């Protein structure tokens, strides 16, 4: 028995891949890039698949497994996060499945099978694939993954509508199970205002380096109108802007050059309004101590200039 089916529409990923029995493969399927991924099942690549190759490959495997698997088993942990369309980073190599029957021996090494009781209201389907609920998925990841990876998933889940109360209910059902204390600590940092994995990872790096927890989507009144900073400390008028190159690419911007110019004008307007802006790129996240030093220097400069008193 499963709960209601949920259809998720995700950026660059409207549905799992089409699964075909290898015995039914035709030349046209091969020309379109069909590949066998699991026990006599092949998938056709989805042209709108996730921009994250590792997530797209995991979704291919999940869809193939789901097409051959019996009832009474649900994808969980990061596999469920991928099915839900959550952001992920440094995705693990295993697909996790929770099943209500005894674990089978000799299973595919890519699959980790679990045998635990999950409340029915924490089980559902997304695009026909059985998974743990979004709240349960976020909590399971929070109690099992390194903090940075778990927070990216949890922030993404909150952006999709999961509330703090939803997470708390799941935590209570888990009682004293392994990792619950870790999950409670991490989920206090969840903030759906982070709009990308890069913004979440920047926030995580700064908190992990001992800086105060920043606000997200910080409102700034400028000569160009109200603008929003990724994260910041309004009391000091310091913003941190994550600069993923993708937002300047033709995938997101109709004119990448104009996008760069517009961002430059935006930053100048924010600085003219009396704010200090620290820009962060993916490379900076490999050196969190240097990033934290830059932000602390911005704090010191803001105090010297008396920006907080404005």
pLDDT at 256: 75
pLDDT tens-digit readout, 93-136: 999 999 977 666 556 889 999 998 999 999 999 989 999 999 99
Q: Is the per-residue pLDDT at 150 higher than 70?
A: yes
Of the candidate ranges 12-26, 78-92, 145-159, the one whose mean pLDDT is the lowest? 12-26
pLDDT at 308: 76
Q: Is the per-residue pLDDT at 5 higher than 70?
A: no
Over residues 227-256, mean pLDDT: 78
Average pLDDT, the chain: 88
pLDDT at 309: 62
Sign of torsion over alpha carbons 63, 6, 158, 160: positive
pLDDT at 11: 39
pLDDT at 286: 96
Q: How many Cα atoms are found within 13 Å in the side-chain-facing hemisphere of 17?
A: 31
pLDDT at 13: 46
pLDDT band at 282 (very low <50, low <70, confident <90, very high): very high
pLDDT at 107: 67
Of the candidate ranges 60-69, 183-192, 233-242, the one whose mean pLDDT is the lowest? 60-69
Residue extents of the structural domains in the chain? 5-187, 197-309
Answer for the pair 192, 201: CB distance below 8 angstroms, yes or no: no
Show Cβ contacts of residue 216 under 8 Å, excluding neighbours closer than 6 positions.
191, 193, 194, 199, 203, 230, 231
DSSP conformation letters of 237-302: TEEEEE--GGGGSTTT-SSHHHHHHHHHHHHHHHHHTT-EEEEE-GGGGG-HHHHHHHHHHHHHHH
Show Cβ contacts of residue 162 under 8 Å, excluding neighbours closer than 6 positions.
134, 135, 138
CA 114 to chain centre: 23
pLDDT at 272: 96
């Amino acid at each position: 028995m499963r709960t209601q089916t949920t259809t998720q529409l995700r950026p660059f990923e409207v549905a799992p891949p089409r699964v075909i029995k290898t015995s039914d493969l035709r030349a046209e399927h091969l020309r379109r890039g069909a590949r066998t991924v699991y026990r006599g099942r092949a998938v056709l690549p989805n042209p709108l698949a996730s921009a994250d190759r590792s997530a797209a490959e995991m979704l291919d495997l999940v869809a193939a497994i789901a097409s051959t698997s019996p009832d009474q088993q649900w994808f969980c942990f990061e596999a469920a996060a991928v099915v839900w369309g959550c952001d992920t980073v440094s995705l693990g190599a295993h697909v996790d499945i929770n099943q209500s029957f005894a674990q089978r021996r000799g299973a595919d090494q890519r699959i980790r099978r679990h045998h635990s009781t999950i409340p029915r209201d924490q089980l559902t389907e997304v695009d026909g694939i059985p998974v743990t609920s979004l709240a349960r998925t976020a909590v399971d990841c929070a109690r099992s993954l390194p903090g940075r990876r778990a927070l990216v998933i949890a922030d993404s889940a909150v952006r999709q509508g999961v509330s703090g109360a939803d997470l708390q209910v799941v935590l209570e059902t888990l009682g004293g199970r392994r990792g619950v204390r870790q999950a409670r600590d991490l989920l206090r940092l969840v903030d759906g205002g982070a709009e990308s994995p890069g913004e979440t990872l920047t926030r995580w790096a700064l908190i992990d380096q001992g800086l105060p927890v920043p606000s997200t989507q910080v409102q700034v009144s400028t000569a160009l109108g109200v603008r929003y900073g990724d994260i910041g400390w309004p009391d000091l008028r310091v913003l941190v802007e994550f600069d993923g190159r993708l937002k300047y690419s033709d995938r997101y911007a109709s004119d990448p050059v104009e996008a760069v110019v517009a961002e430059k004008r935006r930053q100048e307007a924010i600085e003219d309004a009396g704010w200090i802006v620290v820009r962060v790129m993916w490379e900076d996240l490999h050196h969190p101590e240097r990033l934290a030093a830059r932000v602390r220097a911005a704090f010191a400069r803001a105090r010297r200039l008396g920006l907080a008193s404005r």
